[in-house]
Structure 1
Amino acid sequence: MYHSTFYLYKEQKPAVCIVRNYTEKDFDELVTIQSECFPPPFPSELWWNKEQLSNHITLFPEGALCVEIDGELAGSLTSLCINYDPLNSQHTWEEITDNGYIKNHTDHGNALYIVDISVRPKFRTFGLGKIMMESMYHLVIEKKLSRLLGGGRMPGYKQYDGKETPQSYLQKVLAGELKDPVISFLLKCGRTPVCILDNYLEDEDSLNYAVLMEWKNPFKQEFNK
C-alpha cells in the first residue's frame, strides 16, 4: 500500500501533504469532492457512488489514491490495469472503466488506465494532480507495465465549436496558441496525445470528445530501441 508524507507551502507556510490509498472511511468525502470538481452541467450520476468506491479498494487498492493537506482530503485518483492494443485505441469511458466499477481490472494487464482524477478547486494551486499522477508513474514502473493511459476531457473546446475541429483544437493547444484546463495540465504532467476519442463521455463542455493521453514506461525495452 502507498503512503508518502512531505511538505508543501500553503500561504507561504509549510503544510503537511500525505498521499495514500483511500479506504472506506473516505467514501463520503470522496463523493463530496466529485460534486465540487464536476458541477452542472456535468451529470451528477457520473459522480462516484459507494459501490464503485468499494470496488476500487477491493479489486485494485494500489490504484486508489487520495491526497490530504493538513488533514483535509483534497483530491483523489483512481486507476485500473487493462490490456491495451495500440492498433485499437478507440473506446468510451464507460467501456474501458466498466462504468467506473472497474470489474474488468486485470492483474495481468499491460497498461495502467486512469479512471478519474479530482482535486478540490481550493487546492488546485498546489500541484496535487501532478503529485498523484507521478505516484502512478511509480506504480507503472513497479508493475513493469508498458504505459499509463487515460482519456483527457477537453472542457475548453465548447467555445470553439464551429471554429475548430477537435483535432485542430488539440494542435493549437500543443502549439501553445490555446490553453485547455485538462489537456494543458496533462501535458505538464508528462503525458503525450495518442488520438482523439469520439463520444468518450457525456460531457457538454467537451462536446463528448476526449484526447487519449499516455506516458510510456522509460524502462521498457521496446521504447528504447
Structure 2
Amino acid sequence: MADTIEIRNLTAEDYHDLKESMVSAYKDMPGSYWRESTIQKLISLFPGGQIAVAVNGKVVGCALSIIVDYNKFGDDHTYEQISGYYTFNTHNPKGDILYGIEVFVHPDFRGMRLARRLYDARKVLCEQLNLRGIVAGGRIPNYDKYADQLTPREYMEKVRDKEIYDPTLTFQFSNDFVVKKILRNYLPSDEASHGFATLLQWYNIYYEKDSDIIRYNKSTVRIGLVQWQMRTYSGVGGLLEQAEYFIDAVSDYASDFCVFPEFFNAPLMIEFNQLDQAGAIRGLAKHTEYILQKFCDFAVSYNVNIITGSMPIVIDEQLYNIAYLCRRDGTYEQFIKIHPTPSEVSSWGMKGGNEVKVFETDCGKIGILICYDVEFPELSRILAAQGMQILFVPFLTDTQNGYNRVRFCAQARAIENECYVAIAGCVGNLPKVNNMDLQYAQSAVLTPSDFQFPVTGVKADATPNTEMIVIADVDLVLLKELHAFGSVQNLKDMRKDLYEIKLKKPLK
C-alpha cells in the first residue's frame, strides 16, 4: 500500500512523534530537541506558522516559524536574539518577515521530498499573509570537513557552484533561497558548522506594501487593439467620429488600454495633395494638437487609457513622429519615434527623438515604441531595465514583408524582455494619398514563451487586413513568476560582467 502524506498545522498532541523525529534528525547535536512547553508556546503564539508533515498518520518532520519586525534586528543577529532567547516574545503579528525557526525531517523518511513540501507550505503561508519574504539562519553541517581549507564564504560559494555538497545549504539553494551574508556565532552549539550560519532569504514576489490601502493597480489588464481601416473622411471631425466609435466599443468591454496604429490619421493628408510629400505631412501635423485634446477627453469620458497611435508633429521647425499616452485621469505623456525609417527621412525629412522611458499607469509600467523602433532590441531592453511590463507598438506597414519584420521583432522583444507586447496596425488603402497607398497588418498581443503562456506566444491576434478590434487579458502576476521561476530567465541571466546596454545622455 502506498504511503499517505499529509501537510497540516502542528498540534500539541503531536509532540511525542515530533521529539522522536527531531532526536533522530540531530544525532550530531545530542540533546538538541524542543521541549514540550516550547512547542506549546509556539502553537499558542502563532498556530498557522507551525507546520507538520505526517506519513501514514505519524509526524516525521516540521517547519516552525514566527513573524518578526525585521528592521528591529537587521542582518546582524544571532538565533538567541531573533527568538527572544527562546521565549519567542519577538513574534509580532504585524511584522513583515516570516522567520524560519526550525525545519527538519526524520532521516528514515528522507528522499520523499518532505522538506520541499514543508518549504512550499511555508511559502504559501508567507504569500497569504502578504509578508515581504522568509528569512532563516541556515546551518552548514558539512563545513567541519573543510574548515581548515576554506573560509565560510568560500565554502558557501563552492556549495552554490555545486563543487561541494551540503545537506542543508544545497537544499536551500534549490528552493530559491539566496544567501544575504555569513553569520558568526549564530548558533554556538552547532559544532559541525563551527557556529557559522548562512543568512538566507526567499523573496515573496507577490508582496504588496500597504495592502490595507485601497489601490487601483491591477494584476489582470485588458488590452483593446484597434486594427484601423484607412478610408477617406469628411475632415478631422469624421476621423474623430470613427475613432470615438472604436474607443466606445473597446470601453464597453471594460478595457484598460485602447491602442491605435501609427499614422492612423493619414487619410487627412488628402486635403494637402496639392503639396509635395514633405509639405503634405507637415500639413497633417497641424491637426495633431487638436486630435490630442480630443483623445484626452475621450480617455476620461470612456474611462480607458489611450495609446493614440502616432501622428506627425512639428517642434522648433523639425518634423517628428509622436505618440501619446492619454490616461483616464486626464493626464498625458508623449513618446517621439527614435528611428524614422529611411523613407520617412528621404520623403519627409523626419527626425528621431532622444528620450527612452517607461510610463507609469494605473495598470503597471508600460513602454511605447513606434514601428521601426521595435526592430532595435536595445531600446526595449532599456525599458525592461526600468520595469516595463507591457510594450505598446503602433505600426504602419505596406507589405507583408514589412509587417513580418515588425511582428517577428515584437515577438522577440516579448521573449527576451519577459514582457507583453501589443502591436496595432492599419489596413486597407488610400489611393489618393501620396506615400500612403497600401497597408498590411495583423494586430496582436504577444507573450513570453514559457509554461504559463500560450504555446504559440500569441495571446490574441486579428484577422489579417480586416478592420476590427482585438480584446485580450494579460496577467502581470505571471510576469513576476516568470522573472523569478521561469525555465529561462533572460533578464536575470544577462552577462553584465561581460557586456552592458546603457542609455547615453540625450542629445540636445
TM-score relative to the length of structure 1: 0.88
Structure 1: gaps (5+ residues): 1-12
How much has 1:220 moved relative to structure 2?
2.5
Counterpart of 1:26 in structure 2 is 14
Counterpart of 2:169 in structure 1 is 183
CA contact (8 A) 1:51 1:101 kept: no
TM alignment of 1:206-217, pairs within 5 A: 206-217=193-204
Inter-partner Cα distance in structure 1 for 2:108 and 2:205: 34
Counterpart of 1:128 in structure 2 is 114
| Larger Cα-atom Rg | 2
Give identity over the alignment, percent.
Answer: 28
Structure 2 residue matching 1:25: 3-state secondary structure: helix
Inter-partner Cα distance in structure 1 for 2:39 and 2:207: 31
Letter matched to residue 173 of structure 1: V
Cα distance change of structure 1 residues 196 and 177 upon mapping to structure 2, 3 Å threshold: same
TM alignment of 1:71-150, pairs within 5 A: 71-85=57-71, 88-150=74-136
Q: Which moved more, 1:88-97 or 1:103-112?
A: 88-97
How much has 1:88 moved relative to structure 2?
2.8
CA contact (8 A) 1:33 1:119 kept: yes
Inter-partner Cα distance in structure 1 for 2:85 and 2:116: 24
Structure 2: gaps (5+ residues): 210-385, 388-508
Structure 2 residue matching 1:75: 3-state secondary structure: strand
* CA-atom RMSD in angstroms: 1.8
Letter matched to residue 215 of structure 1: W
Letter matched to residue 141 of structure 1: E
CA contact (8 A) 1:152 1:211 kept: yes
Structure 2 residue matching 1:32: 3-state secondary structure: helix
Q: Deviation per CA, 1:60-89: give whole Å up to 9, x if none.
A: 000111111111221111000011139930
Letter matched to residue 211 of structure 1: T
Regions of 4+ moved over 3 Å: none
Counterpart of 2:439 in structure 1 is none
Partner residue of 2:141 out of 155, 162, 180: 155
Inter-partner Cα distance in structure 2 for 1:168 and 1:97: 28
How much has 1:102 moved relative to structure 2?
1.6
How much has 1:14 moved relative to structure 2?
3.3
How much has 1:55 moved relative to structure 2?
0.7
TM-score relative to the length of structure 2: 0.40
CA contact (8 A) 2:185 2:195 kept: yes
Inter-partner Cα distance in structure 2 for 1:219 and 1:135: 15
Q: Which moved more, 1:128-137 or 1:13-22?
A: 13-22
Inter-partner Cα distance in structure 2 for 1:204 and 1:79: 23
Inter-partner Cα distance in structure 2 for 1:50 and 1:147: 28
Structure 2 residue matching 1:194: 3-state secondary structure: strand
